[in-house]
């Protein structure tokens, strides 16, 4: 099995500022991958595949709710806003690792659109797939044809189903989910990016780093190394 990672980033609370922060995180992981010489591919508007040796190993702890505290560019009174974005880091799995029955899938097509909602394709090349047994819905609209978008969507779906399978197996053998960095308690706040104090705090391992701008530009090694040591 490859060690590629699929990263899904969604804006949380905070309106437009949350969307901007989600894009900042998207760029951070893209830049980090670029600096490692890894390959990246946009599977959907908010889903990125990172292909490279140990990509998932080094990025799995990034899964969870990220919080930012800063003054938005649109804020005229200088007030600090708090916004969030949710990051899910999945291991990309081969088709043989997870069996998906065609009868369990419901597919539909739609017109692809860009981040601002503008149409980027006049034909219905985008694909949305729902896995009926679990209710998981995935989509892809970055390719020009349905076949390629369907392949991307199925890749995302397989990774999500595999993640669920692994979590269930951990529970069966009595493992403490709180000790599983990167897979445990994704609904909880894991990290805060405090711009006024130029400080990043990871609430799981109680560690802090400075130089936010450098880290958001892809310099994630200080954080990754600390997690490797703790784990």
pLDDT tens, position by position, 156-205: 999 999 988 888 877 766 644 344 333 333 346 899 999 999 999 999 99
User: What residues contact 175, with CB distance under 8 A and at least 6 apart?
Assistant: none
CATH number of 5-94+178-230: 3.30.70.1660
Q: Global pTM? A: 0.84
pLDDT in tens, 111-142: 877 654 445 555 678 999 999 999 999 999 88
Domain with CATH 3.30.160.20 in the chain: 96-172
Q: So what CATH class is 96-172? A: alpha beta
């Amino acid at each position: 099995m490859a060690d590629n990672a699929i990263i899904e980033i969604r804006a949380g609370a905070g309106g437009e500022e949350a969307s901007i922060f989600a894009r900042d995180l998207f760029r951070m992981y893209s830049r980090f991958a670029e600096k490692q010489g890894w390959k990246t591919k946009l599977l959907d508007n908010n889903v990125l595949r990172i292909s490279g040796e140990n990509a998932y190993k080094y990025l799995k702890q990034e899964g969870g709710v990220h919080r930012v505290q800063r003054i938005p560019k649109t804020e005229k009174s200088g007030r600090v806003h708090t916004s969030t974005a949710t990051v899910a880091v999945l291991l990309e799995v081969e088709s043989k690792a997870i069996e998906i029955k065609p009868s369990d899938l419901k597919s539909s097509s739609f017109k692809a659109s860009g981040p601002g909602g503008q149409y980027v394709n006049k034909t219905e090349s985008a694909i949305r797939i729902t896995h009926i047994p679990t209710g998981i819905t995935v989509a892809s609209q970055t390719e020009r044809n349905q076949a390629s978008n369907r392949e991307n969507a199925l890749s995302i779906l397989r990774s999500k189903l595999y993640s669920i399978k692994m979590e269930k197996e951990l529970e069966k053998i009595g493992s403490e989910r709180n000790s599983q960095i990167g897979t445990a308690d994704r609904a909880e706040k894991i990290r805060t990016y405090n711009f006024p104090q130029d400080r990043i705090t990871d609430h799981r391992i109680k560690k802090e780093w400075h130089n936010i701008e450098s880290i958001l530009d892809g310099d994630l090694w200080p954080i990754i190394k600390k997690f490797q040591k703790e784990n």
